[in-house]
Structure 1
């Protein structure tokens, strides 16, 4: 069961001058999609605004049916080029908006998150819930690039809890008629801090790997063991290297920023490889750890950022004098490699 942080009731907010527009467009029927998205696109096309569409084939068909030849004025992108591992998806949007800004272009992005396909139903994590941590960061990280982002969420495909949180993590919502309504949203640091307070499930009593290291000089055997284990689980050499790099970065952080001993356990859950790294420092990680790219913020640490890029889902919790970082590597997603 997904555990959620306590979030405030949504309220209509006062419009803010130059506020970054990160809007939720929530639908529960094709008619709702037509009533909300079509007016938005009609206005953008009328104003000559550059628009990038990263949506499903179903949404594309509706738009092309409504606009005919005008739809060719929109830029269309395959969702798989953006939505891959969750960290990849987040970084692709950040890089794209940064590139557009550097070229002096203001592009309005219409995106429909693709976070439930190709995932085993028995996955140990709710991937949609985990993606929301990236959604809330968009409010701050992409804002400087001035590329409005409209996220299409279909209530027929997601739980009520997911949709309620989607509403609370965007600073605007689009309602019928394409009306843009500013709403109260949860600050990223508050939301992420609450997420880090959620305890991790108990690891299996018996795991495939259970290693302990006391210094950086012992990281080599961990590399070897994790790579061999991933290969035995039918992960390709390239995917295994990604797993090794992610685990090594987190284990290194545990020694350098936490305290020894650092324990590394690994197990398989259905089609997902799971690795948990525990350090004895007992110091909570900053809520934003791993969400800020070293390219975009020279002050950001590289280790957790790289771990969030290479693992699909990263969960963090500190309790009882132990800081734990759990990495999830679903087979199909880990074998889907990024555009960049």
Structure 2
């Protein structure tokens, strides 16, 4: 009898999030096939989202059991940019939660090999917090031969579990999501002397100031810049009597900073978390983060400053 326990002591009541880094084909098969078969034996929905090579290997090993999977999908079709990909992922998770007491997912985020896909590491970090109560096992597959070392380093820091050879074990490099996010944000350099700075008390004033900066920089992105800044100003004015809005260009990037003297953000991961579907749910940070190309946060009990970065495309 095998002593391999594909999900260890996981009891199916909360998220288990494991990174499995593989090189050889057999190494992958020996990890994923028992994981899939255990789920099928327990009557759990089992989903596999992976690249062509991984799907081919698993199809050959699973044989007729392939038809018992809830999903067997090409990962190449999933990447839509970080926020849009997570939004689709969130929608599918909520749909599963409505019909299944627990489920499991083996997923290979193939887009991590692309420059524009590496921001996904931030969402992997945030998932540990925003999906902590969802009853599923997420086995994330990472090809050692395809991914550069910095990406593999981020994988190790964003997954609480790793494979120990016969069962999942705590990952020694795992970091708190907020700490990880701060480490991958753009460097927080001193605001340049050339920056346009204004202390504002209404969102309308902010829209005018930011619109002028965006029109001078790149008119095609005015709408995105203004809307993103507007959402942050609305949030800031809920906790402070005025907001300081600054803007400047740095080579091919427009930077917009919104700063307040409020009590600080209660959770710096909120900009990466899909908002609830209720009409009155707060979604300002999610929308601002979605519209900008990058974001950096400096938050403490004496105030918060958020920088939005818009690249000239």
Rounded Cα–Cα distance in structure 2 between residues aligned with 1:76 and 1:330: 36
Aligned-partner Cα distance in 1 for 2:291–2:58: 34
The 4+ residue runs of structure 1 with deviation greater than 6 A are: 185-188, 296-300
Alignment of 1:160-309 (within 5 A): 160-174=149-163, 176=165, 179-183=166-170, 190-193=176-179, 195-196=181-182, 200-202=187-189, 205=192, 210=196, 212-216=198-202, 217-222=204-209, 224-225=211-212, 228=215, 232=219, 241-258=223-240, 260-267=242-249, 273-281=253-261, 283-286=263-266, 287-295=268-276, 301-309=282-290
Aligned residues of 2:210 and 2:247 also touching (Cα < 8 A)? no
> What count of residue pairs does the alignment treat as equivalent?
301
SS in 1 for 2:270: coil
What residue is the counterpart of 2:109 in the other structure? 113
* 8 Å contact kept, 1:27–1:33: yes
- Normalising to structure 2: TM-score of the pair? 0.74
- Aligned 1:101-180 pairs, distance under 5 A: 101-104=97-100, 106-116=102-112, 119=115, 128=118, 130-174=119-163, 176=165, 179-180=166-167
For residue 218 of structure 1, report the CA deviation from its aligned partner: 0.4
C-alpha change, 1:316 and 1:299, in structure 2 (3 Å) is farther
Give the CA deviation at 1:159.
Answer: 4.3
Equivalent residues of 1:247, 1:275 under 8 A apart = no
What value does the CA root-mean-square deviation take over the aligned residues?
4.0
Cα distance in 2 for residues equivalent to 1:199 and 1:170: 22
- CA shift digits 1:152-208 (9 cap, x unpaired): 1223344445434433432332355xx4313157887x440464487834378598x
Q: 1:83 offset after TM fit, Å? A: 3.1
Q: Assess, with a 3 A threshold, how the Cα gap between structure 1 residues 184 and 56 changes in structure 2: closer, same or farther.
A: closer
Partner Cα separation in structure 1 for residue 174 and residue 112 of structure 2: 25
Query: For residue 308 of structure 2, what is the aligned residue in structure 1?
Result: 327
Partners of 1:51 and 1:146 lie apart in 2 by 13
Q: Is the 8 A contact 2:106 2:140 kept in 1?
A: yes
CA distance in 2, matches of 1:259, 1:116: 42
TM-score, structure 1 normalization = 0.69
1:25 corresponds to: 20
The 8 Å contact of residues 276 and 324 in structure 1, kept in 2 or not, is answered as no
| Deviating more after overlay: 50-59 vs 256-265 | 256-265
SS at match of 1:247: helix
Q: Secondary structure at the match of 1:221?
A: helix
Q: Name which structure has the greater RCO, CA cutoff 8 Å, separation 6+.
A: 1
Residue 93 in 1 paired to residue 89 in 2? yes
Listed one character per residue, the Cα deviations across residues 268-291 of structure 1 (whole Å, up to 9, x for unaligned) are 666xx5533131427532333334
What is the alpha-carbon distance in structure 2 between the residues aligned to residue 229 and residue 42 of structure 1? 59
Cα separation, 1, equivalents of 2:213 and 2:167: 49
Max Rg structure: 2
What corresponds to 2:52 in structure 1? 57
SS at match of 1:77: strand
How far is the alpha carbon of 1:227 from its aligned partner?
5.9
Relative to structure 1, the CA distance from residue 225 to residue 109 in structure 2 (aligned partners, 3 Å threshold; closer, same or farther) is farther
In 1, distance between residues paired with 2:83 and 2:103? 22
**Aligned-residue offset at 1:55:** 1.8
Structure 1 unmatched runs, 5+: 1-13, 121-126, 333-340
Shift of 1:229: 5.7
Q: Is the 8 A contact 1:290 1:307 kept in 2?
A: yes
Hey, what's the Cα distance between the residues in 2 that align with 1:278 and 1:93? 30
Question: What SS does structure 1 have at the residue aligned with 2:264?
Answer: coil
Structure 1 position 150, deviation (Å) = 1.3
